[in-house]
Amino acid sequence: MKIQFRNAAKEDLALIVATYNSTIASRLVTADLEEVSVASRQHWFDAHSGAKRPLWIVMYDGNYAGWMSFNSFYGRPAYDGTVEVSIYLEEKFRGKGLGRACLQKAIEEAPRFKIHSLLGFIFGHNVASISLFKKFGFEKWGHLPTVANMDGVMRDLLIFGKKV
């Protein structure tokens, strides 16, 4: 198994959006309730850069497997050293160790981007993601009870953090 990461290019946006959209129906990893368009994600894509807020394409044995990004937290200068880590994998590549590889890369790369705190925003019912983040030493830093209405089911949002 060979896992590689590369910076996303504009040609990757449609794949990134397709991967993201593939997770919506599960109501497990995103608060979006309907698919998003490529055009609607353009501003988000443009906010990422290899110099400050990377967006990486995850490759598995030479095949596109998903993406990972560092997203600015709260948009104020004092928080520049804190980012939310987002990991979205294609269904056929889940359970193959890519989530672990992504978190390992996030931790290793954070100092290069002057990041001191990594955050994961995870629904309370997403047991697999909670377990993964805990394995890497993330601790629960926040609990927002019943803040997400997922088709009439109220869900908690947990914030996991790690100093790097």
Q: In this model, does residue 154 exceed pLDDT 80? A: yes
Q: In the prediction, which pLDDT does 1 show?
A: 66
Statement: the pTM of the whole predicted model exceeds 0.85: yes
Give 137-144's long-range contacts (Cβ < 8 A, gap of 24+): 137/162, 138/162
Write down the CATH superfamily of domain 3-163: Gcn5-related N-acetyltransferase (GNAT) (3.40.630.30)
pLDDT at residue 75 in the model: 86
For the chain, domain boundaries? 3-163
CA distance 28 to 13: 22
Would you state the pLDDT for residue 126?
Answer: 97
Share of the chain above pLDDT 90, in %: 98
Predicted pLDDT at 110: 98
Of 10, 5, 99, nearest to 48 by C-alpha is 10
- Write down the mean pLDDT value for the chain: 97
pLDDT in tens, 46-87: 999 989 999 999 999 999 999 999 999 998 999 999 999 999
